[in-house]
Structure 1
Amino acid sequence: MKPILSALAGLLAASALTAPALAAPAAAPVAIIHARLLTMGPAGEIADGTLIVRDGKILAVGKGLAVPAGVQVIDAKGAIVTPGLFAPNTVLGVREVNSVKGTDDAKSASADLGAAFDPQYGLNPDSTLVPVARLGGVTRAIVVPAPGGDGEGGGDDGDGSLFDGQVLAIRLAGDLLVKPRLAVAMRFGENGAGGSRGAEIGLLRARLDEVRLYKQNRAAYDRGETRDLKLSRADLEALIPVVEGREPLLVTVHRAADIRQVLAFAREQRLRVILNGAEEGWRVADEIAAAKVPVILNATADLPRSFEIVGASLRNAARLRAAGVEIAIVSPDPAHRVRELRYEAGSAVAQGLSYAAALEAITIAPARIFGLADQLGSLQPGRAADLVIWDGDPLEPRSLPTAIYVDGAPQPLRSRALDLRDRYESGDGASR
């Protein structure tokens, strides 16, 4: 066995030396001048501003800044420059084709791996969906695992479907992974575990009690001296940061009554939670605000596709924000339509959300919600140099990026879809 392991280790070492580097090479310093900077930071909007990028970070932002020697200068000519957009609920990099199971690494079918399921190991930096999303100005995203098992719904607690898995952050260039284990995802309501809402609350309480018991008696657990626990050791370990309040539960929940139940359970268990979906959130907006719980929502969800969202409203985003709730806006599809994130924000503006709040909901707000605002989401010194130069208003569908930077590196304004379009428009496709 040892010779086999040694040979395998040698092969892995050799492949590591020959594998292409995934991270983008160090970008040259850049200064963008004469730009209308929507910084989403303390500086607010800066007319005719200058932004200087060095070593993948924002070096300086302001008006009338001196540009250091040896820096490439880009004249924005009054164009709007924003932080790269941040999509807060996607399966980018872990799902390619919805109907092809072999391309879907967004969920676990294992009975032993629910909360501990980590999608980072399925990330594909060559996914064709990443450049498509990036062309919509999206430079960062949150990957949220999908419900496990064979279906899209829940199941009983025995199939590991109470928790969906680990939430992580990615960049849309180079080596995708930014930070794993930001939260644990789960569902509550019609698609929750246990077959009913009462059963789900009971199961959830019991499982979290198991985590606390395990945490306090690891040695006894190793000796087999504790009672039998339903969760696997991997899931028990994954949920310790949740019961300690170091990681939130990202709870997909829809109707107002269920939102109240989630908020009450979080208070009882002293948990941090983030609400995902919350189509009827506007009905309990004051309660969500009082609990200081952020909401990730689809701004155009207004059809009563189930009994959980009979009260869905296009004004959900505006009403929640008016009540003081931190909101982040998602795209209409977590894989193939992430590029439409800014359209969703624009639709929310049409329904009463302020322009500033809408842009915030797709830049700095997702970064704050997931604890990344000290690195991402705004144009401030020291932040990652993710930025987009636009040829018009970024929330207008006909506007397009003229330049996109991720960690200070310029990105190609191309995708496989555009390459195929150009090939077949030119008539070259038939010969290839």
Structure 2
Amino acid sequence: MLAIIGKKVNTITNGIIKNGVILVEDGKVKAIGPDVKIPDDIKPLKAKYVMPGLVEAHCHIGIWEEKIGWAGSDGNEMTEAATPHVRALDGIKANANESGLEAALHEGITTAQVLPGSANVIGGFGVVLKTTPKTTVDQMVIRNPSGMKIAFGENPMRAYGVQKKVMPSTRMGVAGVLRESLQKTKNYMEKMELYADDPEKKPEVDLRLEALIPVLKKEIPFRAHAHRADDVATAIRICEEFDVEMSWEHATEGHRIAEYIAEKKVSAVWGPSLTSRPKWEMRELGYSTPKIMFDAGVKFAIQTDAVGSTIRFLPICAALSVREGLPYDYALKAITIIPAEIIGVSDRVGSLEVGKDADLRLLSGDPLEFMTRCQKVIIDGEVVYSLK
């Protein structure tokens, strides 16, 4: 058993408990409150501020290893524009020396969705992990698959139209590749059902089409990379045509289309923000966007897109959004419970509640204060990091 005492314990979903006590047993939160009794044989950990571990809804840690170059670059299978059958899980390095995982752990980012990159129109399956390094990545998984990565805008156009001189070279082409793959999958599903009892006529298993079936069955959503407002409008248009679900990844021009996104009930994952503007489609990047989306009623999380920027910047990105008008409480939710909901793991992480995973950050002060240090990190009831 583990006990934690916090001068402030922010549960995220049930308010702040002053002088709160948390009991942890078998990797889960057993009890939480101001009057929880600590067993006599347990020496509690203490902190000024305790909160749930942070949740990074969109990153590429482990699948792009920092400081290695091409040998550690496993995020984009750039041999064809549609590769739905590849899996981020198969490219992630699960070890304590992987600097992205290490950085996440040291900041108390305890859960992360790792996605393929955005060079391909259809990039493959994402996965949700705990950030404690293990012998194999399989031991870190809490949801697999967590979504199907698709991409709109400059990246697939540049990777194929500019560099390879093949389709897609335009936004029309990007949409065409996606529609074609979805229609082929629908046809394949119909034939598989029609000839289920006729082995001679039943189609041969096609891994590319099989991979899109969970999307068409609404078992997983598309994770749609798009910076511009017109690109996300295309993504929504196609998803409505095929009756599938999506989240909007990046949402750089969320301020331009916030009311429409709210009307369509599409969740957004905003970021990266603490970065330069390396592409024309990111020219309107700014910290006023979260406030505008909040005012319009858009449900959104905040992300770093690591290794696109450093994953340790996640709380700073939230703090800068507060500086530009985003309500403080929502900013904290946007890096905890809301991303957990969007990536489908809120039954386990994102808030401090009895029965949930015991993933906690023990801090020296306010979580959105720049000078605050993350002093200890607990994942599944085990202290996995202590500030030296």
TM-score range for the pair, normalised by the shorter chain length: 0.7 to 0.9
Please identify, of 267-276 and 301-310, the stretch whose mean Cα deviation from structure 2 is larger. 301-310
Verify the 8 A CA contact 1:89 1:334 in the aligned structure 2.
Answer: no
Q: 2: CA distance between counterparts of 1:146 and 1:348?
A: 25
- Aligned position for 1:364: 337
Q: How has the CA–CA distance of structure 1 residues 226 and 189 changed in structure 2, closer, same or farther, with 3 Å as cutoff?
A: farther
Q: Shift of the alpha carbon at 1:208? A: 0.5
- Aligned position for 2:186: 212
Q: How has the CA–CA distance of structure 1 residues 213 and 72 changed in structure 2, closer, same or farther, with 3 Å as cutoff?
A: farther
Aligned pairs, how many? 369
- Aligned position for 1:410: 383
SS in 1 for 2:326: coil
Deviations 1:231-255 (A, max 9, x none): x911111100111122100011111
SS in 1 for 2:45: strand
- Aligned position for 2:128: 169
Q: 2: CA distance between counterparts of 1:354 and 1:257?
A: 28
Q: How has the CA–CA distance of structure 1 residues 343 and 34 changed in structure 2, closer, same or farther, with 3 Å as cutoff?
A: closer
SS in 1 for 2:290: helix
Give TM-score scaled by structure 1 length: 0.79
2:243 maps to 1:270: yes
Any residues of structure 2 matched to 1:112-261 within 5 Å, and which? 114-126=83-95, 127-129=97-99, 130-147=101-118, 153=119, 161-173=120-132, 174=134, 175-192=139-156, 194-218=168-192, 233-261=206-234
- Aligned position for 2:348: 375
Deviations 1:212-237 (A, max 9, x none): 1111212769978699x9xx911111
Q: Report the residue type matching 2:189 in the other structure.
A: K
Q: How has the CA–CA distance of structure 1 residues 211 and 99 changed in structure 2, closer, same or farther, with 3 Å as cutoff?
A: same
Identity rate, percent: 27
Aligned-pair RMSD on alpha carbons?
Answer: 2.5
Which consecutive unaligned segments of at least 5 residues does structure 2 have? 158-167
- Aligned position for 2:60: 91
SS in 2 for 1:411: strand
Q: Report the residue type matching 1:180 in the other structure.
A: N
Deviations 1:282-307 (A, max 9, x none): 11101111111111112636966444
- Of structures 1 and 2, the larger Rg is shown by 1
Give TM-score scaled by structure 2 length: 0.88
Q: Shift of the alpha carbon at 1:357? A: 0.9
Q: Report the residue type matching 1:33 in the other structure.
A: I
Q: 2: CA distance between counterparts of 1:86 and 1:134?
A: 11
Q: Report the residue type matching 1:47 in the other structure.
A: K
2:256 to 271, 277, 283: 283
SS in 2 for 1:334: coil
Q: How has the CA–CA distance of structure 1 residues 101 and 223 changed in structure 2, closer, same or farther, with 3 Å as cutoff?
A: farther
Verify the 8 A CA contact 2:143 2:345 in the aligned structure 1.
Answer: no
Q: Shift of the alpha carbon at 1:144? A: 0.9
- Aligned position for 2:294: 321
Deviations 1:110-151 (A, max 9, x none): 54971111121233221431222211121111101114xxxx
Verify the 8 A CA contact 1:289 1:324 in the aligned structure 2.
Answer: yes
Q: How has the CA–CA distance of structure 1 residues 304 and 224 changed in structure 2, closer, same or farther, with 3 Å as cutoff?
A: farther
Q: How has the CA–CA distance of structure 1 residues 86 and 218 changed in structure 2, closer, same or farther, with 3 Å as cutoff?
A: same
SS in 1 for 2:368: coil
1:65 to 28, 36, 41: 36
SS in 1 for 2:284: coil
Verify the 8 A CA contact 1:80 1:392 in the aligned structure 2.
Answer: yes
Q: Report the residue type matching 2:98 in the other structure.
A: T
SS in 2 for 1:412: strand
2:9 maps to 1:37: yes
Q: How has the CA–CA distance of structure 1 residues 335 and 203 changed in structure 2, closer, same or farther, with 3 Å as cutoff?
A: closer
Verify the 8 A CA contact 2:83 2:123 in the aligned structure 1.
Answer: yes
Q: Report the residue type matching 1:135 in the other structure.
A: H
Q: 2: CA distance between counterparts of 1:199 and 1:61?
A: 53
Q: How has the CA–CA distance of structure 1 residues 314 and 91 changed in structure 2, closer, same or farther, with 3 Å as cutoff?
A: same
Deviations 1:38-77 (A, max 9, x none): 1112x2111121111111001111121222454342233x
Q: 2: CA distance between counterparts of 1:265 and 1:112?
A: 17
Verify the 8 A CA contact 1:263 1:288 in the aligned structure 2.
Answer: no
Q: How has the CA–CA distance of structure 1 residues 88 and 192 changed in structure 2, closer, same or farther, with 3 Å as cutoff?
A: same
Verify the 8 A CA contact 1:81 1:390 in the aligned structure 2.
Answer: yes
Q: Report the residue type matching 2:65 in the other structure.
A: E
Q: Report the residue type matching 1:248 in the other structure.
A: P
SS in 1 for 2:353: coil
Q: Report the residue type matching 2:129 in the other structure.
A: I
Q: How has the CA–CA distance of structure 1 residues 247 and 255 changed in structure 2, closer, same or farther, with 3 Å as cutoff?
A: same
SS in 2 for 1:344: helix
Q: How has the CA–CA distance of structure 1 residues 345 and 34 changed in structure 2, closer, same or farther, with 3 Å as cutoff?
A: closer
Please identify, of 299-308 and 237-246, the stretch whose mean Cα deviation from structure 2 is larger. 299-308
Q: 1: CA distance between counterparts of 2:372 and 2:125?
A: 35
Which consecutive unaligned segments of at least 5 residues does structure 1 have? 1-28, 148-152, 154-160, 419-432
Q: How has the CA–CA distance of structure 1 residues 412 and 317 changed in structure 2, closer, same or farther, with 3 Å as cutoff?
A: same
Q: 2: CA distance between counterparts of 1:112 and 1:295?
A: 24
Verify the 8 A CA contact 2:253 2:284 in the aligned structure 1.
Answer: yes
Q: Shift of the alpha carbon at 1:336? A: 6.6
Verify the 8 A CA contact 1:299 1:317 in the aligned structure 2.
Answer: no
